[in-house]
């Protein structure tokens, strides 16, 4: 039987996947770079826990680096970074989709004309 050799996530491939995930590549992009389909990538993640963990760890490392850089910019006085950080981290107080405060509806006086009442 000939054909394509079975694809295995070696330690080197796990390192590559980790690096790509840390740089923000999507699953589809990682699969393309590794020369496999998305379904193969998902299947190998289920089959090889070290491959799954490499991608998960890479994503976490990338988020950590970017969030730390954003935080440092905000601390250094970058107003745009401050606003973005607060909008994302404290949506209740800084988010854009704040509900409008409830306004009191003034009382309504209803006057019934005695001629309108039937006996």
The one-digit pLDDT tens for each residue of the chain (119 residues) are: 567 788 999 999 999 999 999 999 999 999 999 999 999 999 999 999 999 999 999 999 999 999 999 999 999 999 999 999 998 888 888 877 766 677 788 888 888 777 766 65
**How many whole angstroms separate alpha carbon 98 and alpha carbon 91?**
8
C-alpha distances (whole Å) from 48 to each of 9, 80, 83, 103 are 8, 42, 41, 58
**How many whole angstroms separate alpha carbon 14 and alpha carbon 35?**
14
């Amino acid at each position: 039987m000939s054909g394509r050799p079975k694809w295995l996530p070696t330690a080197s491939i796990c390192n590559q996947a980790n690096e790509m995930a840390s740089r923000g590549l999507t699953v589809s992009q990682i699969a393309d770079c590794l020369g496999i389909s998305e379904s193969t990538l998902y299947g190998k993640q289920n089959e090889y826990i070290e491959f799954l963990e490499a991608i998960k760890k890479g994503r976490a490392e990338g988020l950590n680096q970017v969030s730390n850089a954003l935080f440092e910019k905000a601390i250094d006085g970058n107003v745009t970074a401050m606003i973005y950080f607060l909008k994302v981290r404290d949506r209740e107080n800084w988010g854009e989709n704040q509900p409008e405060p409830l306004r009191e509806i003034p009382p309504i006086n209803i006057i019934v004309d005695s001629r309108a009442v039937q006996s």
